[in-house]
């Protein structure tokens, strides 16, 4: 299916998986960027934005949610554009104020996110101008209990963050922490079905045309996780390791194992789903599975990103 065309004034920077996509709006008096990528890619984010804006400044920055791959560039953008106004969903506003890196998950997942500040909230149920188009703010629980997604009802464009991708959706983090959230994923997918978008700009991957088949794929994936939360746990561990691999590109396997041992999320997941297997055996097996899946390779001592 060809990539759908977007109205002028909307620029999508399709990034990889370490950095979420960024969406730059230039159509109105005020420029606005949705999501800022991962911190190690900040220079790339700045140059993508600067290349489109030229001498214009970036006025507003809106985060769909506060995972490190969506807001890791916030600090760099705030430094580059001192009058930038930053908008975040309300759920973790206090934790951002206090810079509570545990609740914000950067510490327990072993991910990096430089401290940033915010100015305004993106409250579900309200509307907001992105450039010269008016967008609805919707809550999108599941992947992240505090995530929002944005919908433009005239052109029927959805900015879906990690709630819906062309082939599924992001890890359901609350499920790893002992909260049930698969039903939240189902509710969010159902909301998206009701919005019935024409075009989706996902948090990762290319822009795509929405069809009911996209929801079927996501629902099927959800059903497989509901049937086997352990499968979801195993998937999540591999996603977290791959994310680190994308960040560092390569390092000795022993360094990875040490990193995993001091990154509390891994032990938390093991205790929940794989309690019978000792940590060292379990984490080694996860690395082996990533290599077997062809997303990493072992070169001597080193584990290398593929």
Window contacting Zn ion (CB under 5 A); options: 60-68, 240-248, 256-264, 273-281: 60-68
- DSSP class of 180: -
The CB-of-225 to Zn ion minimum distance in angstroms stands at: 16
Is residue 222 within 8 A of residue 231, CB to CB? The reply is no
Residue in this structure with the two tokens 């327990």, named with its chain if needed: 108
Q: Strand 60-62 relative to strand 85-88: parallel, antiparallel, unpaired? A: parallel
Window contacting Zn ion (CB under 5 A); options: 4-12, 166-174, 285-293, 297-305: 166-174
Closest residue by beta carbon to Zn ion: 67
Window contacting Zn ion (CB under 5 A); options: 7-15, 65-73, 228-236, 277-285: 65-73
Is residue 99 within 8 A of residue 115, CB to CB? The reply is yes
Is 146 a binding residue for Zn ion by CB under 5 A? The answer is no
Window contacting Zn ion (CB under 5 A); options: 83-91, 96-104, 157-165, 241-249: 157-165
Q: What is the DSSP string of 19-39?
A: S--EEEE-SSSS-EEE----G
Q: Alpha carbon of 141 to those of 100, 105, 191: distances in Å? A: 21, 16, 11
Nearer to Zn ion, 162 or 184 (CB): 162
Convert residues 66-85 into a mask of x (bound to Zn ion by CB under 5 A) and - (unbound): -x------------------
Is 162 a binding residue for Zn ion by CB under 5 A? The answer is yes
CA atoms lying within 13 Å on the CB side of residue 297: 3
The CB-of-64 to Zn ion minimum distance in angstroms stands at: 8
**What is the Cα–Cα distance from 134 to 126, expressed in whole angstroms?**
10
Query: By CB under 5 A, how many residues form the interface with Zn ion?
Result: 3
Nearer to Zn ion, 26 or 86 (CB): 86
Provide the binding-site residues for Zn ion, judged by CB under 5 A.
Answer: 67, 162, 170
């Amino acid at each position: 299916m060809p990539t759908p065309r977007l109205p002028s004034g909307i620029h999508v920077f399709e990034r990889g998986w370490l950095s979420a996509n960024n969406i730059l709006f230039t159509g109105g008096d005020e420029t606005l960027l949705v999501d800022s990528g991962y911190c190690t890619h900040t220079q790339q984010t700045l140059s993508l934005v600067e290349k489109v804006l030229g001498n214009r400044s970036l006025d507003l920055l809106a985060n769909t949610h506060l995972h490190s791959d969506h807001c890791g560039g916030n600090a760099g953008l705030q430094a580059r554009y001192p009058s930038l106004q930053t908008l975040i969903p309300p759920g973790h506003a206090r934790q951002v104020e206090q810079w509570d890196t545990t609740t914000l998950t950067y510490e327990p997942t072993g991910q990096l996110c430089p401290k940033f500040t915010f100015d305004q909230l993106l409250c579900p149920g309200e509307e907001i101008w992105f450039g010269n188009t008016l967008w609805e703010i919707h809550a999108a629980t599941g992947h992240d209990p505090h995530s929002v997604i944005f919908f433009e009802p005239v052109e029927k464009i959805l900015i879906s963050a990690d709630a819906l991708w062309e082939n599924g959706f992001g890890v359901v983090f609350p499920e790893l922490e002992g909260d049930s959230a698969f039903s939240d994923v189902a509710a969010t997918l159902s909301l998206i079905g009701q919005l019935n978008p024409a075009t989706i700009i996902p948090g990762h991957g290319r822009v795509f045309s929405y069809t009911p088949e996209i929801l079927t794929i996501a629902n099927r994936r959800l059903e497989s996780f509901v049937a086997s939360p352990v499968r979801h746990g195993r998937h999540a561990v591999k996603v977290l390791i791959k994310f680190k691999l994308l960040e560092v590109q390569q390092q000795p396997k022993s360094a990875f194992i040490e990193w995993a041992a001091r990154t509390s999320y891994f032990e938390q997941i093991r205790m929940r789903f794989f309690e019978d297997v000792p940590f060292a055996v379990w984490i080694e097996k996860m690395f082996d599975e990533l290599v077997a899946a062809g997303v990493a390779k072992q070169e001597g001592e080193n584990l290398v990103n593929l």
